[in-house]
Amino acid sequence: MLQLHRINVYYGESHILRDVSFTIEAGQVACLMGRNGVGKTTTLKAIMGLLPVRSGAIVMDGADITTGATDRRARKGLVYVPQGREIIPHLTVRENLQLGFWAQGTKSDRTAEKAAFDEVYQLFPKLTQILERPGGVLSGGEQQQLAIGRAILSAPKVLLLDEPTEGIQPSVVDQIEDVIIGFKKTRRFAILLVEQGLHFAARLADAYVIMAKGAVVAAGRTNELSADEVKRHLVV
């Protein structure tokens, strides 16, 4: 579904990603882990085309997208929820969601549109109470629900979630966990989840990729992740 082949990314002359390779299968939940500053966000940005890749290749559904523009990647089904969430502050919750729906690019009828919105309202009931509120005044937890809801409305094939639980109260973390588990059951799309919370990751992910200093140092199935690996690369 999505493959990274030895990608190298630089900020100016600093070499940030070093020969990063991994594969995400259709419908799979994969967790990208590693300490602060190892290059997790940089990896997601490179996948989205927000940063140029100096060498290596990114392949989605058999097509090389390494140099494709971000909006073309989005139309192919790559949807990114950044670490800072990036809600549009002066648009209301409803308008922010509408942008997500429009981003899916296919024409659809009113019934399909209503069904798509209803699904998001069911996943995140809180949103129905704040539809007319400007995005800029939402709490962190509300923003995260809106950001994920908007991403789902844009019909992803691969959803890239950068630390969705960062700085969020436990009840909303549980809700996000339930939503991810729900999608894991249907396998409607793959999820690449950046997550520091080891327990959260272990409960949700089929596969893991651990990075250190810009390189992949371990990868495999989550149920085979060893305590030794965790201690070596993840415990601070």
Ligand X SMILES: Nc1ncnc2c1ncn2[C@@H]1O[C@H](COP(=O)(O)OP(=O)(O)OP(=O)(O)O)[C@@H](O)[C@H]1O
Dihedral sign for Cα atoms in the order 82, 146, 30, 231: positive
Dist. CA 85–CA 205, nearest whole Å: 21
CB of 32 to ligand X, least distance (A): 9
**Which residues 178-197 are close enough to bind ligand X by CB under 6 A?**
none
- For the record, the structure tokens of 131 come out as 């539809």
Task: List the one residue from 2, 4, 27, 39 that touches ligand X (CB under 6 A).
Answer: 39
Is the CB of residue 168 less than 8 Å from the CB of residue 144?
A: yes
Q: What are phi and psi of 130, to 5 degrees?
A: -130, 25
Given Mg ion, ligand X, none, residue 171, with its beta carbon under 5 to 8 Å by kind, binds none
Nearest to 4 by CA among 232, 211, 233: 211
CB of 83 to Mg ion, least distance (A): 5
Taking the least distance from each CB to Mg ion, the nearer of 42 and 93 is 42
Given Mg ion, ligand X, none, residue 11, with its beta carbon under 5 to 8 Å by kind, binds ligand X
- In the block, residue with structure tokens 């996000």: 176
Given Mg ion, ligand X, none, residue 42, with its beta carbon under 5 to 8 Å by kind, binds ligand X
- Report which DSSP code applies to 134: B
**Which residues 10-49 are close enough to bind Mg ion by CB under 5 A?**
40-41
Size of the chain, expressed as the number of residues it contains: 236
CB of 33 to Mg ion, least distance (A): 11
Task: List the one residue from 4, 7, 16, 192 that touches ligand X (CB under 6 A).
Answer: 16
Given Mg ion, ligand X, none, residue 16, with its beta carbon under 5 to 8 Å by kind, binds ligand X
Helix (H, G, I), strand (E, B) or coil at 150: helix
Helix (H, G, I), strand (E, B) or coil at 11: strand
**Environment class of 13 (CB within 10 Å of its CB; exposed 0-12, middle 13-18, buried 19+):** exposed
The helix or strand, by DSSP H or E, that contains position 186, with its residue range, turns out to be helix 170-186
CB of 235 to ligand X, least distance (A): 14
Is the CB of residue 42 less than 8 Å from the CB of residue 5?
A: no
**Which residues 47-106 are close enough to bind ligand X by CB under 6 A?**
83
- The answer to whether residue 36 forms part of the interface with ligand X (CB under 6 A) is yes
- The answer to whether residue 42 forms part of the interface with ligand X (CB under 6 A) is yes
CB of 202 to ligand X, least distance (A): 18
- The answer to whether residue 40 forms part of the interface with ligand X (CB under 6 A) is yes
* C-alpha distance from residue 225 to each of 43, 202, 219 (Å): 21, 9, 8
Stretch of 36-44, 60-68, 101-109, 171-179 contacting ligand X, by CB under 6 A: 36-44
CB of 118 to Mg ion, least distance (A): 33
| Interacting residues with Mg ion (CB under 5 A) | 40-41
Would you tell me which residues interact with ligand X (CB under 6 A)? 11, 14, 16, 34, 36-42, 83
